[in-house]
Structure 1
Amino acid sequence: MKKNIKDQKMVFIILLSNLFIAFLGIGLIMPVMPSFMNIMHLSGKTMGYLVAVFAVAQLLMSPLAGRWVDRYGRKKTIITGLFLFGVSELIFGLGTNVSVLYISRVLGGFSAAFIMPGVTAYVADITSVQERSKAMGYISAAISTGFIIGPGIGGFIAEYSVRMPFFFAAFIAFLACISSLFILKEPLTKELLTEISAHTKPNFVSDLKRSLNPLYFIAFIIVFVLAFGLSAYETIFSLFSDHKFGYTSQDIAAIITISSIFGVVVQIFMFGRMVDILGEKKLIQICLITGAILAVVSTVVSSFLAILAVTCFIFLAFDLLRPALTTFLSKVAGKEQGFVAGMNSTYTSLGNIVGPAMGGILFDVNIHYPYLFAAVIMVIGLSITVIWREKQLAENSDEY
């Protein structure tokens, strides 16, 4: 099944479209959430809980979903995730009380837990080790592009109705689900899936214990650091910009959009080459160093252009760190792509839960503390990479 990316254009287009649509759906509802909050008479506390419920649901489902990727196949898991995502958005759009919204967010978290490991494992199965980094760069770019375009489309659609973006997200999710059903083919045979699943049983506790294996754990810790740092930075950025500089929502949106586009362009055209030259470990270390330094610099710059430049490069560091880690993990995973992809999602969820919460707490103490704390976390992550076993990684890559 391992062919050049060029020979599998349609498969890659469908896989990347699935991720793009999922994150487009998440992004396009952002502009309408304040209006939706007012219509439903929801408190800020409730909105925060709705965000947390999504991450918690993803956290709990991720290890099980990762196992299902190895047991039932990549295609079935992806289709299940897309269907759940469509149902989640449809329920949220139709919801008239808080209980229904919570159900929607739980289903949304489950859908994310299915889609990400399914797509990551599928891509790892059909690409050679040499092209893996390039493929993972495309995956990260698809995610980032969905986030970039989403808010703009959501704002436009919301002109017709505040609930319309949710219905649109549901529609494109069901469309992606149907196209995947007919176009994608399971990359692994039933015999190979049976062989892989026979060696492992879905157990959250045992999976967490296995993730402590030094070969995996260091990368998983950095996955957590990435999710923690990025979610804390993004959560606090708008508040920080408003409190310190008095920026308008248009100013903040412009900075985030330009920074995100910059990151996507570099990912698409340069990520594969950077991995070839530096290797995953060095690239990850450079990204952590850059992120830590720029997190501190964020607290001292004041001009709009300086803030834009800092934000562009800190977003780029995070955008390069994500696919570099995913590539590394896919290489050490061997045949257990589902397990590793599932635990990758688990540690991401942990970071997405703890990051915004810690950032908010520190922000109330001092608006600079979240960035300084994020810098400290990234330095700790950098120090952990020093003990990476590169020889062991090479051996696993050769076996796979």
Structure 2
Amino acid sequence: MNQSTGVGPLRTGSFFLLMASVFTVSMGYGVVLPVLPFWLERLSGSVSVPWHTGLLSGVYMLALFVFAPLWGRASDRLGRRPVILLGLGGLVLALALFGISQSLWLGYLARILGGVFAAAVLPVTLAYVADTSDSERRARRFAWMSAASLLGFLAGPALAGWLSGVAMAMPSGTMVRRGAIWLPFLAAGAIGAIVLLAGYFRLPEPVASPSPHPDEEAQRQNGTLKALFLLSLLVFFGLGSFEVGLALLGQRNLGLDPSRIGIMFMECSLVMLAAQTLVFSPLARDYGGRHLIVPAFLVMAVGLGLLPVAAAFGVLLFLVGLVSAGSGVLIPLLSYQVSLHGGASQGAALGKQTAAASLGQALGSTAGGLLFAVTAPAPFWLTAGLLLVGALIGLGIGRGAVAAPGPAKAG
């Protein structure tokens, strides 16, 4: 297998633009979360805020699930640059449309379009990195791309809360309060427009060379990719269930105030960021990374399985750290492994992985809430069991069923 489909190094400026593109998409998703209930409340008529809050989040993930493989395949045929730029442009328009929407159906349209165009950026930026990187540099760059996504997700709610707060602090009035709703979307769209313009003028199209496989090798890689897609679904199922279950456990069973629940989620983000940049990158570079799959799944499973029996806040923080560390390693690692075995169809492979991850997170979030209503430990123990299944699948990968290729000299 040819290790890199790219024929030239990825310049620092281009890589920064790819990171900024991923950051923009994640920020665009995160900026909606804090103000979504308030956006629904300002609509006239009897609107069920909890019901539509969930559905508006769900349609975004559904669009991402459906369109990520389509955009990935399109980028294999049309090129990475036009698909990324089209995705950024569409996302900017979707954010603006949601901010000015005065009706529920227009809000749904904006969220669907946001998911459609986000699906054009997330997998294709990774495919761009894979086109222009050998396996060693790819591991480090994938870690930084994942970190950019996490930082964007953190920046979105912070931006929404800050700008909404600024508007609310102004003299009272209906128009000012409405301004608090659209202002974060305007700011996020403006940032996206800046990234789009920079990409239009400064992001070149990577030149990819074909990487054909013998039929037997291609079949083996296809089986490997299917296993990696399933592992991606399980990881994000675990994250979705964990996030919902943790919030409910802290509020209803442990009686934690919002500040302590916020501390746990902040810890989760910081530990994931550290795991992606400090643990995954050097180990993947030196050992190929596939041997990390089983330990990371086991760490996640142990942390989730013990969360329902944690009585002290300090123990809870430790277990949250375990779950975060395991997922922080697995997210870039699985994308890295998919790219190593994607051959010439990097866009299609990474698009399918993005779809699997989106589906897993949607299912995990839904299952977490439903199972917690039955009994508090249920979402944690079921998810821990599924993660143990993931460890068994990863065991076959670690034994060599999916051997990572050695580093290439090009790129």
Same fold (TM over 0.5): yes
- Return the letter of the residue paired with 1:173: G
Alignment deviations for residues 204-223 of structure 1 (CA, whole Å, 9 cap, x no partner): xxxxxx99932211111001
**Alignment partner of 1:373 is 2:382:** yes
What is the alpha-carbon distance in structure 1 between the residues aligned to residue 30 and residue 369 of structure 2? Answer: 21
What CA distance in whole angstroms lies between the structure 2 residues aligned with 1:133 and 1:240? Answer: 35
**Residue 393 (structure 1) aligned with residue 403 (structure 2):** yes
What amino acid sits opposite 1:327 in the alignment?
Y
| Deviation, structure 1 residue 330 | 0.5
> Which of residues 43, 52, 74 is equivalent to 1:46?
52
Question: What is residue 167 of structure 1 aligned with on the other side?
Answer: 186
Question: CA 1:387–1:174 in 2, change beyond 3 Å: closer, same or farther?
Answer: same
- The aligned residue for residue 153 of structure 2 is 147
Equivalent position of 2:341 in the other structure: 332
* CA distance in 2: counterparts of 1:100 and 1:76, whole angstroms: 27
Q: Which residue of 1 aligns with 2:142?
A: 136
Equivalent residue letter for 1:166: F
Residue 71, structure 1, aligned to residue 80, structure 2: no
Which residue pairs with 2:260 in the alignment? 251
Could you say which residue in structure 2 is the equivalent of 1:158? 164
TM-score (norm 2): 0.87
The equivalent position to 1:308 in structure 2, one of 309, 317, 339, is 317
- Where structure 2 has 5 or more consecutive residues not aligned to the other structure, the ranges are 1-5, 168-179, 213-218
Partner of 1:92: 98
Residue in structure 1 matched with residue 354 of structure 2 by the alignment: 345
* 1:50-82 Cα distance to aligned partner (Å, 9 max, x none): 111111111111221111110111111111111
Q: Which moved more, 1:38-47 or 1:95-104?
A: 38-47
Q: CA deviation at 1:270?
A: 3.2
Q: State the alpha-carbon separation in 2 of the partners of residues 284 and 238 from structure 1.
A: 27
Amino acid at match of 1:36: W
**1-structure distance, mates of 2:136, 2:288:** 11
Comparing 41-50 and 345-354, the one that deviates more: 41-50
Residue 117 (structure 1) shift: 1.3
1:214 equivalent to 2:223? Answer yes
Aligned to 2:173: none
* Among 340, 361, 364, the residue aligned to 2:373: 364
Deviation of 1:382 after TM superposition, in Å, equals 1.1
1:185 and 2:204 equivalent? yes
SS at match of 2:309: coil
**Closer/same/farther in 2, CA of residues 3 and 212 from structure 1, 3 Å limit:** closer
Greater radius of gyration (CA): 2
Cα offset for 1:15? 0.7
**8 Å contact from structure 2 (residues 136, 407) kept in 1:** no
2:3 is matched with none
Deviations 1:188-246 (A, max 9, x none): 26xx5xx799xxxxxxxxxxxx9993221111100100111111111232122111122
The 3-state SS of whatever aligns with 2:204 is: coil
Question: C-alpha distance in 2, partners of 1:131/1:215?
Answer: 22
Structure 1 contact 223–344 (Cα < 8 Å) conserved? yes
TM-score scaled to structure 1, two decimals? 0.89
Q: Show structure 1 runs of 4+ deviating over 4 A.
A: 1-5, 394-400
Q: Distance in 1 between matches of 2:336 and 2:354?
A: 14
Contact 1:332 1:396 survives alignment (8 Å) = no
Q: Trace 1:10-21 onto structure 2 (pairs within 5 A).
A: 10-21=13-24
Q: Percent identity?
A: 25
Unaligned runs of 5+ in 1: 198-209
Partner of 1:269: 278
Residue among 119, 124, 129 paired with 1:123: 129
Q: What value does the CA root-mean-square deviation take over the aligned residues?
A: 2.3
Which segment is superposed worse, 31-40 or 223-232?
31-40
Is the 8 Å Cα contact of residues 145 and 261 (structure 1) preserved in structure 2? Answer: no
1:247 counterpart SS class:
coil
Assess if the C-alpha contact under 8 Å between 1:211 and 1:217 holds in 2: no
Letter in 2 for 1:264: L
**Matched residue type, 1:91:** L
- Which residue is 2:215 aligned to? none
Distance verdict in 2 for CA 1:314–1:250, change over 3 Å: same
The one-letter code of the counterpart of 1:19 is: V
Give the drift of 1:107.
0.6
